[in-house]
Structure formats: structure tokens, C-alpha cells
């Protein structure tokens, strides 16, 4: 996570699922991450990049139930319906990453990748957060690759830890 923060200059977050929210349990500051540090550590699933990782791993019925209970739009860009999310879910599943483009807060961008258990279930997510305009200048593809690499490194360590306990 530290390497990703250094490479991107942005805030790197580690989150877990807690009921219908994502809870950030660890943050690593990049050199330019001061603007994001005021974010609260608990976010809804439908409007955060880490939350969408968790939501995309749920069944259709679980997703429908989530949107029956949670439909608050935080910004004009927030996904607030089941149908909107299903369109995005396909992109998340095929690409292995999710985006928050000003869905949680105006001006904020985030990209997340999943962390897997030894049973190949999503147990966490790692994300990069920063001002969307600055992230676009740096190159979203480059930042996406960085967070993907960080997730792959963590996933490899999780697999090795499981193998060593067998």
C-alpha cells in the first residue's frame, strides 16, 4: 500500500464489508493526499469504489434488497437504482476494478480492486482516492494499473499465508 501511495501521490485505503457499508480500516497517505484525509471511514456500498466491489459480488436478490433500503443520492452522479448498478456491475466484474467518479463527493475520484480469500471470495478492497481532476491529469489508466498491482501483491501474500498454514 505504501508503494502505491508513493507511486500515485494519493490516498490508499483498505476496506472491509460491514453489513451494508464499507469500513476503511487502514489508510496510507500519498504526498498530495491532504484533501481526502477528511473523509469519514464508513461509506455506503452504492457510491464508493470499494463498496461497489463488495456489492458486485452479491446475488441479484441481495442487490435488489440493498437498493430497496438504500437509495440516497449524495451527488448528481450517484448510482441510486438497481438497474443503474446492474449496468455498472458488468463493467466491474469484467474489468476487476470499480470507479467512483464524484458519486460520493463532488471533486473526489476513487478506483478500487478486490482482495480475495483462499476460497476466492471477496474479503476486502483496496482503493486510491484523490481529487478527480488531478487523477485525470496523472492518467486514470496508470492509477488503475497501480491499484491493480497493489491488490495483486496483497492477494499473493494472502495465498502464501494460507499455504503456509496448511
- The C-alpha atoms of residue 33 and residue 31 are separated, in whole angstroms, by 6
For the cut 60, the answer to whether the pLDDT of residue 33 exceeds it is no
- The C-alpha atoms of residue 94 and residue 87 are separated, in whole angstroms, by 12
List Cβ neighbours of 161 (8 Å cut-off, separation of 6 or more): none
pLDDT category at 164 given cuts 50, 70, 90 is low
At 149 the pLDDT is 96
List Cβ neighbours of 122 (8 Å cut-off, separation of 6 or more): 17, 53, 54, 57, 114, 115, 116
Provide mean pLDDT across the span 141-153: 96
Whole-number mean pLDDT of the chain? 90
Residue 57: all three cell numbers together: 459480488
For the cut 80, the answer to whether the pLDDT of residue 71 exceeds it is no
At 35 the pLDDT is 54
Structural domains of the chain in order of their starting residue, each with its CATH number: 2-164 (3.30.450.40)
- Single pTM value for the model: 0.90
Provide mean pLDDT across the span 35-54: 83
The DSSP output letter for 19 is T
Tell me how far the alpha carbon of residue 63 is from its chain's centroid.
Answer: 17
Gyration radius (Cα) of the chain, Å: 15
pLDDT category at 165 given cuts 50, 70, 90 is low
Provide mean pLDDT across the span 135-162: 92
At 53 the pLDDT is 98
Q: Write the pLDDT tens digit of every residue in 80-102.
A: 899 999 999 999 999 999 999 99
Percent of the chain with pLDDT over 70: 92
Task: Report helix, strand or coil for 51.
Answer: helix
Per-position DSSP letters for 25-49, written without gaps between them:
EEEE--TT-TTGGGS-SEEESTTSH
CB 114 within 8 A of CB 125: yes
Rounded (10°) angle between helices 49-56 and 82-95: 90
At 31 the pLDDT is 76
Sign of torsion over alpha carbons 15, 108, 47, 87: negative
Provide mean pLDDT across the span 114-126: 94
At 160 the pLDDT is 79
Closest CA to 24 of 146, 105, 128: 128
Amino acid at each position: 500500500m505504501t508503494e502505491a501511495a508513493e507511486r500515485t501521490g494519493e490516498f490508499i485505503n483498505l476496506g472491509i464489508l460491514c453489513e451494508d457499508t464499507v469500513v476503511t480500516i487502514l489508510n496510507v497517505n500519498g504526498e498530495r493526499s491532504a484533501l481526502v484525509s477528511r473523509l469519514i471511514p464508513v461509506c455506503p456500498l452504492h457510491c464508493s469504489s470499494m463498496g461497489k466491489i463488495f456489492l458486485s459480488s452479491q446475488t441479484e436478490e441481495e442487490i435488489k434488497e440493498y437498493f430497496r433500503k438504500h437509495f440516497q443520492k449524495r451527488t448528481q452522479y450517484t448510482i441510486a437504482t438497481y438497474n443503474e448498478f446492474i449496468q455498472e456491475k458488468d463493467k466491474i466484474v469484467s474489468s476487476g476494478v470499480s470507479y467512483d467518479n464524484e458519486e460520493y463527493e463532488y471533486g473526489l475520484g476513487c478506483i478500487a480492486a478486490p482482495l480475495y480469500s483462499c476460497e476466492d471470495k471477496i474479503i476486502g478492497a483496496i482503493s486510491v482516492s484523490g481529487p478527480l481532476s488531478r487523477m485525470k491529469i496523472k492518467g486514470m489508466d496508470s492509477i488503475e494499473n497501480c491499484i491493480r498491482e497493489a491488490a495483486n501483491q496483497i492477494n499473493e501474500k494472502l495465498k502464501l499465508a494460507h499455504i503456509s498454514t496448511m
